[in-house]
Chain A
Amino acid sequence: MAMKKKRYALVVDSRKCINCKACVVACKAENNVPIGNFRNRINEERKGEYPKLSINFEPEQCHHCAEPSCVRVCPTGASWQRKDGIVLVNYDECIGCRYCMVACPYDARYFNEEQGVVDKCTLCSHRVDKGNVPACVETCPSKVRVFGDLEDTSSRIHELLATRRYRVKEPQTGNGPQLYYLL
């Protein structure tokens, strides 16, 4: 039997985000991210002046783009994309030229000084392959992130994107970002 095509993605309901940074901590613990580096972050946007003001928290990480420019520019093929859409770095092939970091419109990658290679969010592929959700998704107390397979029409993520309004960041770079922000 042929395997059904998969396309993993994240939907972010940023209005639910309380900036507790549990996702950042969970990611660092799960993936052993070096001190000073992060695979995900929470952008803060403040608007207005007291008493009329608002603050918006917006979690961000690798968008696991449909047409990832990091994969395109990589001279050795170390940056690659799985069939299910997850963008990964093959650490044995990475020479540390950092072209992918320059080419990423979302600053989603970091340079691992110790190993001399580029690293990034893996969408916790090791967990996903066992049927679990990424650590950032699991730990979030306010359920900001929804992880799922866009090809699976019965999934929650499919339902959200079908019924809610959303946006993606900087689509004009042509990367086809797959991190969906609900409005």
Chain B
Amino acid sequence: MHEFNWGLLIVIYLFLGGLSAGLFFAAGLADYMTVDDKPVYARVARMGAFLAPWPVAIGSGLLILDLGNWYRFYKLFIHFRWESPMSIGSYLLTIFTVIAFLYLFAWLTADERQWLFSKVPATWKQVHRLNVDISSWRGKIAMVGFPFSIGVGIYTGVLLGAVSARPFWNTNLVAQMFLFSALSSGAAALMLAMVLNKKSPAEKHEIKFLVTLDVVFISLELFIILPYLIHGQLSSLAVKQALGLILGGPYTFVFWGPFLVMGLLVPLAIEVYELAPNIFKGHEFHGSRNLALTAAGLVLIGGFLLRYIFVYAGQVSSFHQMGLLR
């Protein structure tokens, strides 16, 4: 039987990379959303900017640890190979991480910035020259960061989708599936952080913004998973048999139960239940704290499971044991 070359560290990394991309996207979007020219979601944007760089930084660390020779990771950056998704991805990831940290810096208040630089020894003059107010750049940084966050979200899928030897991955839908899953994880994580923040409780319009965002992303993800399944069934034998891994095979339960129902449909139902009366009947958005927490938590678990299923099931799938030779 096939052994797994990529394991849990890769699953966690793919999840964290996507999470950062989603957080950055949601934060940037919140920054741009205005009502009557007032930035009503500034707190959401600030929270997103504060969270966004960390998952991808941790994930990149895990990725390096997973290498056979972790200290050789610098070799990724002395070569550029445009045919290798991993080569493109490592540059994309690095640029995105830098932008995400820059965006965080742009959201620091003057006091926070002074506190940060008070930790730097006074003799490091060059570092202290960086103590400048770049809050007016927020919009520009977000605009530059959008394509990179989308890039990171898509890249995690392309990394798998580009492998023609693995029919489970090698469809043109995996990249988008991972992207929308990443964006919805980001919105959910932001919702979780806003609701859990006891110091300044989230306001209803902020929760509503994030719930709306999440409903859109989950729906898009759902309408990619459905064609993935249908198209797979109508595809060549190898793809059809690869899909058997989640249609009767060893990954069937985790795909349909924990991932599709608990991680996608249930949170979608909760969010629609929260949102629909407000949109269609004009009732006040009640914004239940517990429902928001439940939905956000489930979305995050679902996002992780999607990567788990794809990394593992994809490696089992091949043209080798399936079809053709029998």
Q: Residue-by-residue, is B165-187 near A (CB-CB < 8 Å gives 1, otherwise 0)?
A: 11000000000000000000000
| Contact in complex: A173, B84 (CB < 8 Å) | no
A94 within 8 A of B: yes
A77 to B162, CA, bound (A): 17
**A75-B87, A95-B72, A95-B75 known; A107-B320 Cβ under 8 A:** yes
Nearest residue (CB) in B for A79 is B84
Residues of chain A from 78 to 125 with CB closer than 8 A to chain B in the complex: 93-99, 101-107, 111-113, 115-118
Give the contact stretch, choosing among A2-10, A25-33, A66-74. Answer: A66-74
**A75-B76, A98-B6 known; A105-B68 Cβ under 8 A:** no
A93 to B67, CA, bound (A): 12
A173 to B163, CA, bound (A): 9
Q: Residue-by-residue, is B70-82 near A (CB-CB < 8 Å gives 1, otherwise 0)?
A: 0011011001010
B83 within 8 A of A: yes
- How close is B189's CB to chain A, nearest CB, in angstroms? 27
| Contact in complex: A116, B6 (CB < 8 Å) | no
A105 to B322, CA, bound (A): 12
- How close is A119's CB to chain B, nearest CB, in angstroms? 10
A76 within 8 A of B: yes
A107 to B2, CA, bound (A): 8
A34 within 8 A of B: no
| Contact in complex: A174, B164 (CB < 8 Å) | yes
Nearest residue (CB) in A for B165 is A105
A81 to B325, CA, bound (A): 28
- How close is A79's CB to chain B, nearest CB, in angstroms? 10
Chain B residue numbers with a CB within 8 Å of A97 are 66-68, 86
Residues of chain A from 133 to 173 with CB closer than 8 A to chain B in the complex: 169-170, 172-173
Checking A73, A95, A102 against B67 with a beta-carbon cut-off of 8 angstroms, the contacting residue is A95
Residues of chain B from 10 to 28 with CB closer than 8 A to chain A in the complex: none
A169 to B165, CA, bound (A): 12
Chain B residue numbers with a CB within 8 Å of A103 are 163-165
A117 to B71, CA, bound (A): 12
- How close is B12's CB to chain A, nearest CB, in angstroms? 16
Checking A73, A98, A173 against B68 with a beta-carbon cut-off of 8 angstroms, the contacting residue is A98
A98 to B159, CA, bound (A): 12
A70 to B324, CA, bound (A): 23
A163 to B73, CA, bound (A): 49
B90 within 8 A of A: yes
- How close is A20's CB to chain B, nearest CB, in angstroms? 23
| Contact in complex: B164, A69 (CB < 8 Å) | yes
B318 within 8 A of A: yes
| Contact in complex: A116, B86 (CB < 8 Å) | no
| Contact in complex: A105, B318 (CB < 8 Å) | yes
Chain B residue numbers with a CB within 8 Å of A104 are 165
| Contact in complex: A102, B76 (CB < 8 Å) | no
| Contact in complex: B73, A173 (CB < 8 Å) | no
**A73-B84, A73-B163, A75-B76 known; A94-B69 Cβ under 8 A:** yes
Residues of chain B from 271 to 286 with CB closer than 8 A to chain A in the complex: none
Chain A residue numbers with a CB within 8 Å of B195 are none
Nearest residue (CB) in A for B88 is A75
| Contact in complex: B72, A172 (CB < 8 Å) | no
Give me the 4 closest cross-chain CB pairs, A-B, nearest first: A96-B68, A116-B68, A105-B165, A75-B87
26 contacts between A and B (CB under 8 A): A69-B163, A73-B83, A75-B79, A75-B86, A75-B87, A76-B76, A94-B68, A95-B69, A95-B75, A95-B76, A96-B68, A96-B72, A97-B67, A97-B68, A99-B86, A102-B6, A102-B165, A104-B165, A105-B320, A107-B2, A115-B68, A117-B68, A170-B319, A170-B324, A173-B164, A173-B165
Q: Which residues of A are at the interface with B, using a C-beta cutoff of 8 A?
A: 69, 72-77, 93-99, 101-107, 111-113, 115-118, 169-170, 172-175
A sample of 15 more A-B contacts (CB under 8 A), given A76-B87, A77-B79, A173-B164, is A69-B164, A72-B84, A73-B162, A73-B163, A74-B81, A75-B87, A75-B90, A95-B72, A97-B68, A97-B86, A102-B5, A102-B163, A105-B165, A107-B2, A172-B319
Q: Which residues of B are at the interface with A, using a C-beta cutoff of 8 A?
A: 2, 5-6, 66-69, 72-73, 75-76, 79, 81, 83-87, 90, 162-166, 236, 238, 315, 318-320, 324-325
